[in-house]
Amino acid sequence: MKVAVVTGASRGIGHAIAVALAAKGYKVVGISRNIEPGEPFALTLKSDIADIESHAKIISEIAGKLGRIDLLVNNAGVAPLKRLDILETGIESFDRLIGINLRGPFFFTQMVVNYMIEREERKEENRPCVIFITSVSAVASSPERAEYCISKAGLSMAAQVYADRLAATGISVYEIRPGVIFTDMTAGTKEKYDKKIAEGLIPEGHWGQPDDIAKAVVALAGLEIPYATGAVIELSGGMNIRHL
């Protein structure tokens, strides 16, 4: 039995990841501020990942009830409550996004991987794994939501640093960088991005779906892409293609 921990698992990309992992036989621990018990979760924990003080309790509860963690998917994240020009970005909004999108996942990962290392079950066929869900906004500027871009850029570097540090321990670390994915969080921007897509923003010509991200998580967690710790996989319909 393998145990997967998915943050931000109550809806959207996180829920799709949980469903896909459960279908592959994982016992899935779903963490979210608004999560409810039930399929596809073996265990649900209501918690705000930005609350650093809650992390030890979360790990303790998972260890006590399921006895292991094989996979961590850092998916929890939020957008600004209001999009504002960078010259008007407020401290409260900046701190909120850094706390949820970067600071929380950074320290939660630290605690999880220390637990993984202590358990010392890192055989090649059972290699633990950490996956960071970031965004194309880690490398693409949006001046009207600067705090989001900065938080995702920081999370992207966190993935690289963890991959570097953990490679010798037998723990693989990857970054998945979604593009324009249709979720509850992006529903309010549908008209804007429908127009941009029609104008050629995305070479494949359509929105991405949460299942697109979930399939990549399953492949990475299942060691179907070996010898690749530190890899960045962009799922953006070709937004990463540079063209004239």
Handedness of CA 87, 190, 131, 78 (dihedral sign): positive
Rg (CA), the chain: 17
Q: Which of 27-31, 63-67, 138-142, 184-188 has the lowest average pLDDT?
A: 184-188
pLDDT (tens digit per residue) in 85-110: 999 999 999 999 999 999 999 999 99
pLDDT (tens digit per residue) in 164-219: 999 999 999 999 999 999 998 888 889 999 999 999 999 999 999 999 999 999 99
- Kindly report the CATH number that applies to the domain delimited by 3-235: 3.40.50.720
Joined together, the tokens standing for residue 49 give: 């990942």
Q: Please, what's the largest Cα pairwise distance for the chain?
A: 56
Q: How sure is the predictor about 30, in pLDDT bands with cuts at 50, 70 and 90?
A: very high
Predicted confidence (pLDDT) at residue 9 exceeds the cutoff of 70: yes
Q: Rounded distance, CA 56 to CA 111, Å? A: 7
DSSP, residue by residue, 25-48:
T-EEEEEETT--S-TT-SEEEE--
Q: Rounded distance, CA 55 to CA 107, Å? A: 8
Predicted confidence (pLDDT) at residue 39 exceeds the cutoff of 80: yes
**Strands of 27-32's sheet, edge to edge?**
43-46, 27-32, 3-7, 71-74, 129-133, 172-178, 232-235
Residues 6+ apart with CB under 8 A from 109: 72, 74, 130, 132, 158, 162
* 210 preceded by a cis bond (ω within 30 of 0): no
Q: Note the pLDDT of residue 121.
A: 56
Residues 6+ apart with CB under 8 A from 239: 136, 140, 179, 180, 201, 202, 203
CA-closest candidate to residue 2, choices 26, 31, 28: 26
Q: Note the pLDDT of residue 127.
A: 86
CA-closest candidate to residue 158, choices 83, 98, 206: 98
Joined together, the tokens standing for residue 224 give: 């179907």
Predicted confidence (pLDDT) at residue 134 exceeds the cutoff of 60: yes
This prediction has a pTM of 0.96
Predicted confidence (pLDDT) at residue 123 exceeds the cutoff of 70: no
CA-closest candidate to residue 3, choices 63, 74, 75: 63
Predicted confidence (pLDDT) at residue 133 exceeds the cutoff of 70: yes
Domain boundaries, the chain: 3-235
Query: Residue 6 in 3-state DSSP?
Result: strand
CA-closest candidate to residue 107, choices 27, 51, 184: 51
